[in-house]
Structure 1
Amino acid sequence: MRLLVLGGTKFLSLSVAQQAVDRGWEVTCACRGSSPVPDGATHLPWDRSTDAPIGLQEGTWDAVVDVARLPSHVRRAVEIVARPHWVFVSTINVYADNGSSAMEPLVEPVSDDVDLAEDPDAYGPMKVACEEIVATGTTSSMIVRPGLIVGPGDGSGRFSYWPDRLSRGGEVLAPGSPDDVVQVIDVRDLAAWILDACEARTTGAFDAVGQLLGLGDLLDEVAAGVSDGVSGRRAFTWVDSDFLTEQGVEPWAGDGSVPLWLPRPEYDGMMSHSPQPALDTGLRLRPVAETAHDTLGETAVGISPEREAEVLAAWHTRQASPAENG
């Protein structure tokens, strides 16, 4: 297989390129090259805001994997390399209703490039536009819509907050309800499935998500994966979502957040998409415990220990107050 990866130096595209090399494929990574491509892959320098290099225009590949988010980047690449089978990595943020797990309707596309620092809500709409460009401009294509991608090399520190936190033991602030449904997919599993789809020339649109788990079950799996590193006993204290909001705790990701927590029910659908169609085409998912074990010690971003202790203390005070509890 001759594979063109538009990217190949970070997280998912890096895993795709590395695993393709490991399979013995002929891999070309077209990217700026600010980070090295995997050993065994060919680097084709290309800033996608500029004209394509001759090597891209004259090259022949069996499949293309693209993770871009800017419509102009996808449009330019499709105009040049339309014949191979395309796998475009989109996102579940293309769906208009976060409260539903249905694969429709999609948000209205935004066909112009938007700076996400100025308008982060343009991410999903731009991805819809990219999907349309791929679907109409290539001879064969597959659209992959991942949910939360986790695993080694994730610089966001969202998932790896939990292996880090649970390895320290003690009283753990657990957000919302243990029954709140969450999904994560290991980057290595996603990359392997994408490569299988390239080889099989799989077509259609798929939600690339993990198994449906209650947050309590997911945290138990994380705990199992880092059990060798636990410094002491741990106990989960489940803190109501409304209380977390009152306390100014951020959801989902970033400094000061409790990662993976989303307000319910308005985000019920965002973490409850069906993995079955992807499983039916060969997606294989490793246990969350394995991902937790392999990400312990990586970048972890979330609420600080001091702030967590403050919120827990306030929660215990609330629970002990007769006035608050009627």
Structure 2
Amino acid sequence: MKLLVLGGSVFLSKAVAADAVRRGHDVTCANRGTSGSGSVPEGAQPVKWDRAEPAPTDLADDFDAVVDVGRYPSSTRSAVAALPNAHWVFVSTVNVYSDESTPGGRPGTLPLREPLHEDVDLSVDLEAYGPMKVACEQIVRDGSASATVIRPGLIVGPGDPSGRFTYWPARMADGGSVLAPGRPDDSTQVIDVHDLATWIVTAAESRLVGDYDGVGHATTMVDVLTAVAEGCDAEVELTWVPQEFLTEQGVEPWAGPDSLPLWLPRPAYDGMTAHDATPSYDAGLVTRPVADTARETLAWLQATPDAKVTGMSRERESEVLAAWRDR
């Protein structure tokens, strides 16, 4: 297969390119050369392309498949127009769903946000992310020969530039009393970057058609945090602190310097972390245990001093735990 990866130098797109190379495919990675420049996987052919400009002459429309992780409609529009004859695998997001509170949703059962066809700077308006992805999905379906749309939730594992899941292997490795947010049975859902990448390449090979959620099995916070501790061979005690108290203490959910990653307010986000992944597994998705992902993530952290980890400091965690015990 002759595969074009739009990106190929960072996290998921890089994992896709690496997996395709391992399978013996002819892989080209096209990007602007400004993010992870020169770091496409060995065996992949790099091509510089700013999608605000016409496609370079060495990107002829003869690719069997294209993988696109883009978020801006103008970029997806220009790429589809330049490469309409390929099978497209577009990596979208569960943020396209307007209903984030209903557990058990899957493509076709949940309403989508209204598409936003213009580019919006996400540093100014983060809420534009989902609507822009809806527009990108439409562009791909309307303009390509055939298409797979995959909507991931939280992608985790080595190389994660967000540092969200990474917080937990780093924290568990330190041992001791760990602040665990919310309730043990709160839902959560993650997918290993390598498992998602493998499935994306398979979808490109088979020209899979349809919309799918790129999520692992829905599980609980206690199961995930216990698995992370197991994968990190860590001796910890989980201290569960209700979301009401965390909010009173100014702890942020999901991401940020004073956050507890994976934690989302309930019941507003009960559905965002509890999608029904059955159609995806039926379509070939295979996922590894969370403990394995945690082990590999910790090894990557230890080998990568500048790896990003987002979340509250140990000092701040101790303060919140002390306040909870003294309440």
Same fold (TM over 0.5): yes
Q: Please name the residue that 2:27 is paired with.
A: 27
Q: Which residue of 2 aligns with 1:285?
A: 287
Give the distance between the partners of 1:285 and 1:9, measured in 2 at CA. 23
- Write out per-residue CA displacement over residues 233-286 of structure 1, whole angstroms, 9 at most, x where no aligned residue: 421110000110111000001211001000100000000001111100110000
Q: How far apart in 1 are the matches of 2:20 and 2:178?
A: 40
1:210 aligned partner? 216
User: Which position in structure 2 is the counterpart of 1:313?
Assistant: 322
Amino acid paired to 1:167 = A
Partner residue in 2 for 1:322:
none
Does 2:64 correspond to 1:55? no
- For the 8 Å contact 2:71–2:133, the answer to whether it is kept is yes
- In structure 2, distance between residues paired with 1:272 and 1:5: 29
Instruction: Give secondary structure in 2 for the equivalent of 1:223.
Output: helix
Structure showing greater Rg: 1
How far residue 59 of structure 1 moved from its aligned partner, in angstroms, is: 4.1
CA RMSD of aligned residues (A): 0.9
Within 5 Å, give how 1:1-326 maps onto structure 2.
Answer: 1-34=1-34, 35-36=37-38, 37-56=40-59, 58-101=60-103, 102=105, 103=107, 104-227=110-233, 230=234, 233-296=235-298, 297=301, 298-318=307-327
1:88-125 CA distance string (max 9 Å, x none): 00000000011024342100010000000111000000
After TM superposition, give the deviation of residue 300 of structure 1 in Å.
Answer: 2.1
- Contact (CA 8 Å) 1:175, 1:261: kept in 2 or not? yes
- By how many angstroms is 1:54 displaced? 1.2
Provide the rounded CA distance (Å) in 2 between the counterparts of 1:234 and 1:142.
Answer: 42
Q: How many residues align?
A: 313
TM score, norm. by length of structure 1: 0.94
- Scaled by the length of structure 2, what TM-score is found? 0.94
Runs of 4+ aligned structure 1 residues displaced above 6 Å come to none
Measured in 2, the distance between the counterparts of 1:76 and 1:55 equals: 16
Q: Please say if residues 20 and 27 of structure 2, whose CA atoms lie closer than 8 Å, have aligned partners that are also in contact.
A: yes
The answer to whether the 8 Å contact 2:164/2:261 transfers is yes
Q: Which residue of 1 aligns with 2:304?
A: none
Q: Distance in 2 between matches of 1:47 and 1:299?
A: 26
Contact kept, 8 Å, 1:156 with 1:254, in 2: the verdict is no
Give unmatched runs, 5+ long, in structure 1: 319-326
| Aligned-pair identity (%) | 58
Unpaired segments ≥5 residues, structure 2: 302-306
Q: 2:56 is aligned with what amino acid? A: P
Alpha-carbon contact 1:150-1:187 (below 8 Å) kept:
yes
Within 1, Cα distance between the matches of 2:53 and 2:245? 49
Secondary structure at the aligned position of 1:40 is classed as: coil
Give the distance between the partners of 2:126 and 2:208, measured in 1 at CA: 31
- Secondary structure at 1:12 match in 2: helix
Q: Which amino acid aligns with 1:308?
A: E
Distance 2:158 2:216 in 1: 16
CA distance in 1, matches of 2:247, 2:134: 31
